Structure 1
Amino acid sequence: MVRKLSRRAAVASVVATALLGTVAWAQNGSASFPDKPVKIVVPFAPGAGTDAMGRLMAQKLGEVMGGSFVVENRTGASGAIGTQYVAQQPADGYTLLLVASPFTTVAASLPNAGYDPLKSFAPVGMIASGPLVWATNHQTGIHTMQELVAYAKQKPGVLNYGSAGAGGVNHLVLELLKAKTGTFITHIPYRGVAPAAMDMVSGQVQLVTGTIPALLPLVKDGRIKPLAVTSAKRSSAMPDVPSMAEAGFKGFDVLNYFALAAPAGTPAAVIDKLNTALNKVVQLPEVVARFKLDAVEATPGTPTAQAKFIESDYHAWRDVVQTQNLKIE
């Protein structure tokens, strides 16, 4: 009897020590965070819009938190390689993921994406978001989204649409339009929006969507015509271009977004500290000015708000994939 009690006491002592250690880390470890460099993994190549956003966040988070934040590019599989890497890292807050639209579109469209956007990560907070813009060349004679849909219904498959790649937001936004309007437009995937846009100028494709900064120079040069932005409201970067609701497509609201996430299981105290700093960063005057150049708006908020956004976005795109019976490898 005495031995059993001693063993129980010993076990209880070990458990208590472990719990105290966990509590002490939560109190003291998070208080000193970050006390070594924090890595922000950008799952796309240097020079891309996501890379620029990641480097901006790294610089400003370092300034606000008084630590070192560095960007590491891990490319491949439409962002899935870098995303998988972060999901497998220690859940201590020292490896973060720069999240962008492919985070949800790739997971929704590829059965073997290798990560679960709802379970593999702990949301840190949203950064910014902005719409894409529908554009066509002048050879089509199309001036509005209504005219585009009418043409597509009259001549199924005649219009060619260039996307930045199968399974990306530029592809799925087309499939969403087709699903909502009962039209058929031929999808042609490219390695990025730029080559697709140039082929549209030359007439090889007739329609693209892209971020406003990517297509605005061609609009200003008069080489392509914007039809609508993909959001429910207009963009201040293109105030003369109607929203999808104004174009006659209510309930159509697609945003290109940026956020930060950490591996699932990262302590709440660390997440909260990162979120507080991130919310300060996205509202800095110089950051807001940079966002304006990128045609996005700051979206400060809580990790819970980000989780709800990601869940809604993922399920919406999965519904499109299933409705359109898309088979993407």
Structure 2
Amino acid sequence: MTATSPSLRSLSRRRLPAFAAALGALACAAAATLHAPPAQAQAPAVTGAGAWPQRPVRLVVGYAAGGATDVIARLVAVKLGERLGQPVVVDNRAGANSNVGAELVAKSPPDGYTLYVFTIANTINASLYGKLGYDPQKDFEPIGLIAKIPNILVVNNNLPVKSVADYIRFAKESKDGITFASSGSGSSIHLSGEMFKMQTKLNMLHVPYKGSAPAVTDLLGGQVQSMFDNTPSALPHVQGGRLRAIAITSAQRSPLLPDVPTVAESGFPGFDVQSWFGLAAPASTPKPIVERLNTELVKVLNAPDVRQRFQELAATPEPGTPEQMRSFATAEIQRWREVVKASGAKAE
């Protein structure tokens, strides 16, 4: 074994304290790193090179193509895509009264590339279904309301009814009351009738169908007597003289049917039931993306050509803030919970 010289041993003894101090400093630094709070992720840029979005955005609709929700979604998608500089592609995921599409979006990455057309159905479903695969309040980030569409109380032409007063009188005088059709149990069309029933205390028998089209077919044929149908569906039949419009469910009259009174002015102040549509993203979507989407959505809804197209669909644009949409949806959940409970409506 080679012996260490006295000079080397002396040098090592002099350096040991410094070496130990360096080790201690490194240990302290490592411990501080381990216990330091995690750095916050940098918010995504929404302007400039490399900003969101860098690829097409998917807009999920919880219904099949062709319905009011789909038509409105496609109109907004085209215009929103033009403003974002990337296509907004509609993805129809129908099923379980829009729950299939809602659950898909609720479980999607909150990166701004998957959006959802949140509707009145999602607030009704909160109490209509015993268990949902998503939470309509906690699992979505509201972006803004899009539009509202009123329903119309229509009757078969052979029914001796021309006003709400006539409708009430007929229902009271008939031993069987009066029948009203809907597009399905728990739909906004169904619950419009149930809310009217709650306020009038009438004997009204609900007849559910699998969709609005077969319900209207039987209404035209006289198998059922009345219906609180969505305006776009009922309007052609009213204008063609095949159905009689008794009242509209919005707070104001529709410019498309200026002679048809509202339910509110027909003796039921405060009655205001409309189908509505909003834009939402998965919860925890970065605030800059939500704010950019809201800004562009408001611009789209204020565009003259969009407002004109909405008027043709009997829809009223509802530009606003994410906070306004959140408050509105929360109030709707409570409102429909009471109606669902009173009506005994169950999911089909």
Please say whether Structure 1 and Structure 2 have the same fold, judged by a TM-score greater than 0.5.
Answer: yes
Q: Is the 8 A contact 1:121 1:261 kept in 2?
A: yes
Match among 92, 101, 106 for residue 125 of structure 2 = 106
Q: Is the 8 A contact 2:57 2:87 kept in 1?
A: yes
In the TM superposition, residue 315 of structure 1 has moved relative to its aligned partner by 0.9
Partner of 2:56: 37
Q: Distance in 2 between matches of 1:244 and 1:260?
A: 28
Q: TM-score, normalised by structure 1?
A: 0.93
Partner of 1:122: 141
Partner of 1:254: 273
In the TM superposition, residue 71 of structure 1 has moved relative to its aligned partner by 0.9
Pair 1:65 & 2:88 matched: no
1:12-161 equivalent positions in 2, closer than 5 A: 15=37, 18-19=39-40, 22-23=41-42, 26-28=43-45, 32-155=51-174, 157-161=176-180
Partner of 2:33: 10
Q: Is the 8 A contact 1:106 1:168 kept in 2?
A: no
Any gaps of 5 or more consecutive residues in structure 1?
none
Residue identity in the other structure for 1:28: A
Q: TM-score, normalised by structure 2?
A: 0.88
Residue identity in the other structure for 2:285: T
SS of residue paired to 1:114? coil
Q: Is the 8 A contact 1:38 1:70 kept in 2?
A: yes
- Number of aligned residue pairs: give it: 323
Q: Distance in 1 between matches of 2:267 and 2:118?
A: 31
Q: Distance in 2 between matches of 1:215 and 1:205?
A: 15
In the TM superposition, residue 4 of structure 1 has moved relative to its aligned partner by 6.2
Larger Rg: 2
Q: Is the 8 A contact 1:156 1:183 kept in 2?
A: no
In the TM superposition, residue 12 of structure 1 has moved relative to its aligned partner by 5.2
Q: Is the 8 A contact 1:30 1:270 kept in 2?
A: no
Partner of 1:287: 306
> RMSD of the alignment, in Å?
1.8
In the TM superposition, residue 65 of structure 1 has moved relative to its aligned partner by 1.4
- The range that moved more, 257-266 or 1-10, is 1-10
1:270-326 CA-to-partner distances (Å, cap 9, x unmatched) read: 100000000001111111111011001111000000011111111101111112333
In the TM superposition, residue 8 of structure 1 has moved relative to its aligned partner by 3.2
Q: Distance in 1 between matches of 2:150 and 2:295?
A: 26
Change (3 A) 1:33 1:166: same
Q: Is the 8 A contact 1:212 1:237 kept in 2?
A: no
Q: Is the 8 A contact 2:186 2:345 kept in 1?
A: no
Partner of 2:325: 306
Residue identity in the other structure for 1:238: L
In the TM superposition, residue 106 of structure 1 has moved relative to its aligned partner by 2.3
Pair 1:297 & 2:306 matched: no
In the TM superposition, residue 195 of structure 1 has moved relative to its aligned partner by 1.6
Q: Distance in 1 between matches of 2:153 and 2:184?
A: 16
Match among 289, 292, 311 for residue 270 of structure 1 = 289
Q: Distance in 2 between matches of 1:67 and 1:38?
A: 7
Q: Is the 8 A contact 1:213 1:295 kept in 2?
A: yes
Partner of 2:18: none
In the TM superposition, residue 38 of structure 1 has moved relative to its aligned partner by 0.6
In the TM superposition, residue 176 of structure 1 has moved relative to its aligned partner by 0.7
In the TM superposition, residue 113 of structure 1 has moved relative to its aligned partner by 3.3
Q: Percent identity?
A: 39
1:131-152 CA-to-partner distances (Å, cap 9, x unmatched) read: 1110001222011112212322
1:213-255 CA-to-partner distances (Å, cap 9, x unmatched) read: 2111111221111011011211112111001111111121011
Partner of 1:235: 254
Q: Distance in 2 between matches of 1:199 and 1:110?
A: 28
Q: Distance in 2 between matches of 1:56 and 1:291?
A: 9
Pair 1:318 & 2:337 matched: yes
Residue identity in the other structure for 1:8: A
Change (3 A) 1:149 1:257: same
